[in-house]
Structure 1
């Protein structure tokens, strides 16, 4: 089999290359305290898109640093209450997607929430200096500031806050909330389940935002990781601050959050992935201590993995 990374045996024993900040746990405990102190000011606005068997809403809440965050919310009609729910996260620079592709879960009697990441392609605000959007460059936002200013810190907190809001809905069974997403969405699925450990099951697909130093060592700081190369070229061209920079990125490296997960994990990866290299994904998976399994696609890269969406639905239904 062709290789773009380590052998499968090596991957199964790989523990990551990036440095973990010494105060990582305190950092995230402090961040969660900030999130819990926010008044979310939840607003539900009926969407112009409606179907006979569910109600569709634009959901807004206030996240950390005052940003108004948007998510699509689909509530099934005539479903038993409380019922399960799914929270979904999208790829980098994308948005929450179309209503119609989420209706399968509503037809099963599940509530469904789909987040717009702040400052990307949807309706959530980025309050980092200006109102409105920034679209990309989010990995490096805050690298020359205090670690509490890292933009992905705020985005990770948004995922946990949305999951908590879902769990507080009277129609939702707080003990049956699932999370899913691919690429950036896979990373946010990991972050969500780590920061809101009541997540029952999660299905991350080739997660982004992991083991940044390994990405650099493989000369793959391009495509989704291109801003890492741009940062060094513009702000540390001789790499005199390399250790400092990779250590600060460690605060938003999801491999270090993985051990906080308590839910059951169904993980998917393609071994030909040159966008989010397999080793960076195994660095996450190998740190998960809860019940877990991985679906491996040897000939696939950062692309649709045939059958995994069906596996995910069956997994959430309890029929894995």
Structure 2
């Protein structure tokens, strides 16, 4: 097997390289308080797309800093109430995707909530001073500002707020809500379950947004992580602020949030992944204290992992 990172035995022991800010817990407790104080003003708008066995809605809510966040919501028509739900998160710069790729869970009796990340490829607002999208550059957005203004702070909070909204729906059993997603969606799944610990089961795939310093040291600040190198080249070309910058990135490093997770975890990992290196994924996985397991794909990278979607579905069906 080609080795792009550590041997598997070492991966299961790896604890991460990126610094954890000293006030990390206070930072996120303060952020959660801001989220809970926001008036969500939830709005459901029937979609033009409909199917016989479920109702499809565009769901809007107001997140922190006044951003109007969009999600697709599919509610099964004949499922027992209250019934389980799953919240879904997409890859970096993408969007919630088509209605059709969510119907499988709705057909199984789940309510499905799929969020557009603010400022990326969907309809959620980025209130950073202009209308419209910034598309990417979100890891470094706010890095030269107060840590409370990091954009991924707000996106992480959006995931938890959406999960809380899902749990508040009268048709949803708040004790049977899961989360899932791949790449950025995998990182957001971990962040969501950390900030909304009532999430009972989560199925992240090769999670992004973890152990930034390890990515840098492996010379893999490219592809999804390219903005790290761009930021240094433009704003700290001699790396005089390197320790400060990586410590600040630690606020939005999912490995440091992972210990807050209380739900059961099933994670998919490709050991040939050069986009989100396996060690960065295990930095988060190894900090999870709840029941967890990893499905390992030795010859696969940042791509479709055959059979994992079926394993994740069987796992979430236990809700």
State whether TM-score is above 0.5. Answer: yes
Give, in angstroms, the shift of residue 291 of structure 1.
Answer: 0.3
Determine the C-alpha separation between the residues in 2 that align with 1:11 and 1:312.
22
Give, in angstroms, the shift of residue 214 of structure 1.
Answer: 0.2
Give, in angstroms, the shift of residue 10 of structure 1.
Answer: 1.0
1:80-99 aligned within 5 A: 80-99=80-99
Describe the SS at the equivalent of 2:203.
strand
Aligned position for 1:4: 4
Instruction: Determine if the alignment matches structure 1 residue 37 to structure 2 residue 31.
Output: no
Aligned position for 2:219: 219
Give, in angstroms, the shift of residue 2 of structure 1.
Answer: 1.1
Determine the C-alpha separation between the residues in 2 that align with 1:170 and 1:198.
16
Aligned position for 1:60: 60
Determine the C-alpha separation between the residues in 2 that align with 1:230 and 1:80.
51
Question: What's the TM-score once normalised by structure 1's chain length?
Answer: 0.99
Give, in angstroms, the shift of residue 249 of structure 1.
Answer: 0.1
Instruction: Determine if the alignment matches structure 1 residue 281 to structure 2 residue 281.
Output: yes
Determine the C-alpha separation between the residues in 2 that align with 1:61 and 1:77.
23
Residues 110-132 of structure 1 deviation map (CA, whole Å, 9 limit, x = unaligned)? 10000000000000000011122
Aligned position for 2:166: 166
Aligned position for 2:317: 317
Unaligned 5+ runs, structure 2: none
Determine the C-alpha separation between the residues in 1 that align with 2:228 and 2:79.
46
Poorly superposed stretches of 4+, deviation over 4 Å: none
Give, in angstroms, the shift of residue 198 of structure 1.
Answer: 0.1
1:237-248 aligned within 5 A: 237-248=237-248
Residues 165-208 of structure 1 deviation map (CA, whole Å, 9 limit, x = unaligned)? 00000000000000000000000000000000000100000000
Determine the C-alpha separation between the residues in 1 that align with 2:57 and 2:177.
18
* Aligned residues between the structures: 319
Residues 207-257 of structure 1 deviation map (CA, whole Å, 9 limit, x = unaligned)? 000000000000000000000000000000000000000000000000000
Instruction: Determine if the alignment matches structure 1 residue 290 to structure 2 residue 290.
Output: yes
Residues 19-38 of structure 1 deviation map (CA, whole Å, 9 limit, x = unaligned)? 00000000000000000000
Give, in angstroms, the shift of residue 45 of structure 1.
Answer: 0.2
Describe the SS at the equivalent of 1:294.
strand
Determine the C-alpha separation between the residues in 2 that align with 1:293 and 1:8.
14
Describe the SS at the equivalent of 2:267.
strand
Describe the SS at the equivalent of 1:220.
coil
Instruction: Note the aligned Cα RMSD (angstroms).
Output: 0.7
Instruction: Determine if the alignment matches structure 1 residue 137 to structure 2 residue 137.
Output: yes
Determine the C-alpha separation between the residues in 2 that align with 1:37 and 1:318.
33
